[in-house]
Amino acid sequence: MAACLAVGGGLGWLLDSWLDTKPWLLVVFVFIGFGAGMRNAFRTAKRFSEEAERQDDRNGAETPNNDGT
């Protein structure tokens, strides 16, 4: 997530310097970088969750019932 923010901020800063639009593109690209970082974090968490479920299925783990049995 930090890399996405750094890339977004860096691109925004460079474009602001080049186009003389300070600070608008920096703000826009930081938000885009934040969104990309959050998306990557959610995708990674989903992938880990799915892998843990597959591992549980392979090991024969059962999900507990609501009544504690």
3-state DSSP assignment of residue 26: helix
CB 5 within 8 A of CB 30: yes
Res. 64 pLDDT band, cuts 50 70 90: low
Domain boundaries, the chain: 2-57
Contacts with 38 (C-beta within 8 Å, 6 or more apart), sequence order: 1
pLDDT digits (tens, 9 = 90+) for 19-62: 999 999 999 999 999 999 999 999 999 999 999 999 888 887 56
Instruction: Kindly report the pTM of this predicted structure.
Output: 0.75
